[in-house]
């Protein structure tokens, strides 16, 4: 099945570059391009893409507001937002996580990493690398959002619904470990880890793995490292 991608970036040259790269993958297709957040919302509702590749800083309606609107729309429940950003400098990323973004990429991403990220996010396995989790989420996510920040789609925090193993796996995922790393740590198979992750997501009504990580920090199952 061909995955449908929406590009949202105010730089036409960058959009053209990403389009050429994405369309070179036989399993991916760019269905539309947006130059700002408002257009991204409109086109997402029109095309219902599998993945929106979203720049944060755009004129008018920015990527954060667009991400919030897309992730809050029940008709776009199967659309995942992949943020383009600079990990170390863009504090909007933490707000995008709260809004429901599924993953992050730096704009200097390598071609194969971009294509892999789109496939990863479309599958529901949100792109949260150890770098992103430790150096970004741990720095910003636990901080209370500013009053003017748009409300994110809420997911009830009820960790008592989880088994002890599900909480353990969730905590390790929030610390930035991949499924394979968690499997090695717990001496189980990666498939077992994936099953625990998906059961936790279902019980907590988390949109994807990214939101599961948000819940882990907001519920204090995991606490941010002050020196990531």
Q: Is the pLDDT at 8 greater than 90, yes or no?
A: yes
The tokens of 205 are what? 């009504």
Q: Please choose, from the candidates 46, 60, 49, the residue with its C-alpha nearest in 3D space to the C-alpha of residue 10.
A: 60
Alpha-carbon distance 66 to 37, whole Å? Answer: 5
Identify which of 29-43, 112-126, 156-170 has the greatest average pLDDT.
Answer: 29-43
Identify the DSSP state of 159. Answer: G
Span 18-24, average pLDDT = 95
pLDDT of residue 84: 84
pLDDT of residue 178: 80
Span 199-224, average pLDDT = 83
> Can you list the domains of the chain with their CATH numbers?
3-140 (3.40.50.2300), 159-218 (1.10.10.10)
Q: How many residues can be counted in the chain?
A: 228
152 band by pLDDT with thresholds 50, 70 and 90: very low
Alpha-carbon distance 89 to 76, whole Å? Answer: 29
Residue pair 94/101 in contact (Cβ under 8 Å)? The answer is: no
pLDDT of residue 149: 45
Q: Is the pLDDT at 154 greater than 80, yes or no?
A: no
pLDDT tens digits, one per residue of 95-147:
777 788 888 887 788 899 889 889 888 877 666 555 555 555 555 555 555 55
């Amino acid at each position: 099945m061909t995955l449908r991608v929406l590009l949202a970036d105010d730089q036409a040259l960058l959009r053209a570059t990403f389009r050429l790269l994405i369309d070179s993958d036989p399993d991916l297709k760019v269905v539309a391009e947006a130059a700002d957040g408002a257009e991204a919302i409109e086109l997402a509702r029109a095309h219902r893409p599998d993945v929106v590749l979203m720049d944060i800083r755009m004129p008018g309606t920015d990527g954060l507001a667009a991400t919030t609107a897309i992730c809050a729309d029940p008709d776009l429940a199967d659309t995942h937002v992949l943020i383009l950003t600079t990990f170390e400098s863009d504090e909007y990323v933490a707000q995008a996580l709260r809004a429901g973004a599924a993953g992050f990429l730096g704009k200097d991403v390598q071609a194969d990493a971009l294509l892999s990220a789109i496939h990863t996010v479309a599958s529901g396995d949100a792109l949260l690398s150890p770098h992103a989790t430790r150096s970004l989420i741990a720095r910003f996510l636990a901080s209370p959002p500013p009053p003017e920040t748009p409300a994110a789609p809420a997911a009830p925090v009820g960790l008592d619904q989880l088994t002890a193993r599900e909480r353990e796996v969730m905590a390790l995922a929030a610390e930035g470990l991949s499924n394979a790393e968690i499997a090695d740590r717990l001496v189980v198979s990666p498939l077992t880890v994936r099953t625990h992750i998906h059961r936790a997501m279902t019980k907590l009504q988390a949109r994807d793995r990214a939101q599961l990580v948000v819940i882990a920090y907001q519920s204090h199952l995991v606490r941010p490292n002050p020196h990531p």
